[in-house]
Structures are given as structure tokens and as C-alpha cells.
Amino acid sequence: MTKQEFLIACEESFSKNGIFEYATPENLENFYNLTIFMLETNKKMNLTALRDENSVISRHITDCLLAAKHLPKGKIKVLDVGSGGGMPCLPFAIVRPDIEITALDATAKKTAYIAAAAEHLGLKNVHILTGRAEELGANPKHREMFDVVCARAVAELRVLMEWCIPFLKKDGIFLSLKGKNAETELTNAANAVKKLSCSLILNEKQELIESEESEISERHNFVFKKAKNTDKLYPRRNAQIMKNPL
Ligand code: SAM
């Protein structure tokens, strides 16, 4: 795919999915550079199962940006838990240069890749944090420090909430990007929502229209608000979280 073909494909994907506002020349240039960098790096390390530009445009970039409108306005501090190959951290950082976003992952190679990608694109608003979420969330240096925590494709919702909510300031929001089992996960997370003093403030179902018009995937964005500081009991040790999820 040539650069020109990429830019057109990206514009078309944004347009079909109702997010054309993000198709500015500067953003498109960044998405092109990010995609090339990601696919090149992917030949040396396992960042993504996706192998071509069209899939990265729809299943990574467009998919993440469907949730970007839920980031509150202003100079907020955002944490992306289990960022992996930088999703949604890097697309969010591109379309919202006014926010400070930290990519957290347990794997040092992944956070090193995210830092290298941010440097390659000249993004100054991306930071990294390496370690397990359930350990870092108990550390006063990181606990209750973020306005927004987001996560995509990391763990089942009730587990994910115990990992993520401790990082949020009181009144902060947790943005969970989910696929087709989302409603079942939400039902199973009722106790976690209560124990972690949260409330669901948005349950949005969306369709991701992929490059082939016939390919439509179900997507859910959940937004939870944290009403008060997290009980010191949480997050528990991971063995306990997994054995006995909230
Ligand atoms: N969010 C990315 C995406 O949507 O493409 C990556 C998803 S990948 C399937 C899950 C990532 O979560 C992996 O990179 C893994 O290292 C990370 N992860 C899993 N459990 C974690 C934990 N407890 N703390 C920190 N990172 C974790």
C-alpha cells in the first residue's frame, strides 16, 4: 500500500465510522507513521496479530478512536492499563495532544516499543510505566493519581476493574473498551462495581464497520465513575483476584 492509498483508506474508515473529525492532515500523517512503525517492529517482536495496513486502520486505530469522544475535555491525566502495542494509548495521544497519557504494561519490551513509537512520531504527551497493574495500583506513587483509566482487550471486566479503579482519583472515570461478550461481563461485574464504589454512567453499543462493508463487529464502551477513594483492601494479590474475582 502506498502512503497515498493509506491516507485515503484511513479517511474512508473514519468517515464510515462517524469519526471523520479525526482525519486532519497531521493526524493522518501520524497514523501512517505509526502503522508503518508498528508493522515493521512486529516482524521482530509480537505486538499484534494484524499483518496489513487496512487491518491496523480499522481494527486498531478506528476501533480505539470510537471511544476517544469519552475522554473529558482539558489537560487530564490518563492511564492505559495493558497497553500492549500501544492501543488505545497512541491513537488517543495523537488526537488529544492536550492530555498526558501513560501506557502501563507488565512486559518491558512492550512499554519500550511504546516509548520508541512515541519518540518516532514526536509525541511529547506519552509516558510509560512497566509492571503489573495490581502491584502498581497499591503503590502510593500511582494510586488515585489519574483522571481517567482506560483498557482494551486486557481481562474480564470484574478482574480489570480491581486492577484499574485504584489508580483513579475520586470522581475519575474508567473507560472500558469491550467486544461482543461485554454485556455478560457487565452482569458478572455487578459486585466489583459496588465493592469498588463505582457507578456505570454510560453503556454504549457500537458497530465497527471494517474495510469490507460486510464486516461489522460489535463494540461496547462502558464508562464508570468512581464515587470515593478505593478501600485499602483492593487490589488484592493477583492469585486471589483470579481465584476469587469480585
Ligand atoms: N490493549 C492492547 C490492545 O488492545 O491491543 C493490548 C492487549 S493485549 C491482548 C493485553 C496486554 O495486557 C498484554 O500486553 C499484557 O502484557 C498486558 N497485561 C495483562 N495483564 C496485565 C497486568 N496484570 N498488568 C499489566 N499488564 C498486563
What's the N-to-C CA distance of the chain in angstroms?
A: 47
Please state, in angstroms and rounded to a whole number, the distance separating the CA atoms of residues 87 and 221.
15
Entry field: residues in the chain:
246
Average pLDDT for residues 9-24, to the nearest whole number? 96
Q: Is pLDDT of 16 > 80?
A: yes
Please state, in angstroms and rounded to a whole number, the distance separating the CA atoms of residues 31 and 10.
8
pTM given for the model: 0.97
Average pLDDT for residues 112-122, to the nearest whole number? 98
Distances (CA, A) of 39 to 32, 61, 85, 169: 11, 13, 10, 36
Q: Using the mean position of ligand 1's atoms as its centre, give its distance from the Cα of residue 142 in Å.
A: 18
Q: What average pLDDT is seen over the chain?
A: 95
Q: Is pLDDT of 212 > 80?
A: no
Beta pairing, strands 216-226 & 77-81: unpaired
Q: Using the mean position of ligand 1's atoms as its centre, give its distance from the Cα of residue 8 in Å.
A: 31
Please state, in angstroms and rounded to a whole number, the distance separating the CA atoms of residues 130 and 88.
16
Residue 114 confidence class, pLDDT cut points 50, 70, 90: very high
| DSSP states of 3-62 | HHHHHHHHHHHHHHTT-GGG--HHHHHHHHHHHHHHHHHTTTS---S--SHHHIIIIIII
Q: Quick one: cell of 81?
A: 492499563
- Residue 213: the pLDDT is 61
Beta carbons within 10 angstroms of residue 99's beta carbon: 20
What superfamily in CATH does domain 72-243 come from? Answer: Vaccinia Virus protein VP39 (3.40.50.150)
Distances (CA, A) of 79 to 130, 147, 223: 12, 8, 14
Residue in 59, 81, 105 to alter for ligand 1 test, most ligand atoms within 8 A of Cβ: 105
Domain ranges of the chain: 72-243
Residue in 101, 154, 162, 240 to alter for ligand 1 test, most ligand atoms within 8 A of Cβ: 154
Reported as a single tens digit per residue, the pLDDT across 19-77 is: 999 999 999 999 999 999 999 999 998 888 888 899 999 999 999 999 999 999 999 99
Reported as a single tens digit per residue, the pLDDT across 79-108 is: 999 999 999 999 999 999 999 999 999 999
